[in-house]
Amino acid sequence: MDLPGADQDELARTLEDLAWIHRWLGGIRLVRTELPPIFHGLRGPIRILDVATGYADIPRAIVRWGRQRHLAIKFEGLDHHDQILALARQASATSPEIRLRQANALDLPYPDGHFDVVLASLVLHHMEGEEQVRLLRELYRVARRAVLVNDLRRGRWAFLITWASLHVVPGGSPCRAGERPPAGSLAVPAHLGQPARRFSQPPYPSRRSAVRAAGLFA
C-alpha cells in the first residue's frame, strides 16, 4: 500500500480491511474514549489532525460521533499517497468537516500548536529508529492539547486473531505475520510549558525507546 501505482481496486479493498479493523477491533473506540476529557473546556470548533489518515475512516467516524453530541469538529487528514487520498475524498464527500491534503508526516506543514488534538493510527510500525522519533516529535509539536498514537503489537496469537478476523470478511486480505490490530493507545497531553505525561496504556517495548527518545516518556 506504500508503493506508487498500486492497483486501485486492490488498494480500495485494503483500505476497507483497515477500516474494518479500526471499527471492530478497537481503533475508533480508543479515540472516542480519550477525546471527551481532552475536549473539556474547549470553545469553538475543535481542530483535529489525523496523520497518515489513509481512507479517512477514523475522521468520518469521529465527525459522526461529534454530530450526535452537537460538537463542532474540524478535521484535517494528511497522507503522502495520492491514490489513497483520492479514495478517501470520494468516501468523505458528505463530510464537509474533513479536509484532506498530501504531505510528509515527518515534516508537518503546520505551526506549533496548530491543532487541539493530533492522531496517528497504524503508522508508527512502518518506520524504524530515528524516523519513529521524528514522527513523535512532529505530532507533539503541532498539538495544543493531546497526541493519540495507536499502533500494532507483534506476536503469534495476535497474528492468528487478525488473520481470522479478516478472513470472515469477503475479499479480506491477511496481514503480515506477527502483526495485530490496535491493542492500546498512547495519550500525551500537549499543554504549553512543562507537559504532564499520561499513558492510557504503557507503550510496549518495541516502541518504548522511540517514545523516550522523543522526550514523551513519563
Domains and CATH numbers, the chain: 8-152+182-211 (3.40.50.150)
| Dihedral sign (CA 54, 55, 57, 63) | positive
Give the best-scoring range by mean pLDDT among 65-74, 154-163, 183-192: 65-74
Q: Cell numbers of 111, please?
A: 505551526
Please answer whether residues 140 and 188 qualify as being in contact, where contact means their C-beta atoms are separated by less than 8 angstroms: yes
Phi, psi of 37 (to 5 degrees): -65, -30
Interior CA angle at 67 toward 145 and 42, to 5°? 25
| DSSP 8-state secondary structure symbol assigned to residue 141 | H
pLDDT digits (tens, 9 = 90+) for 28-54: 777 888 888 888 888 889 999 999 888
Residues 153-172: what's their mean pLDDT?
41
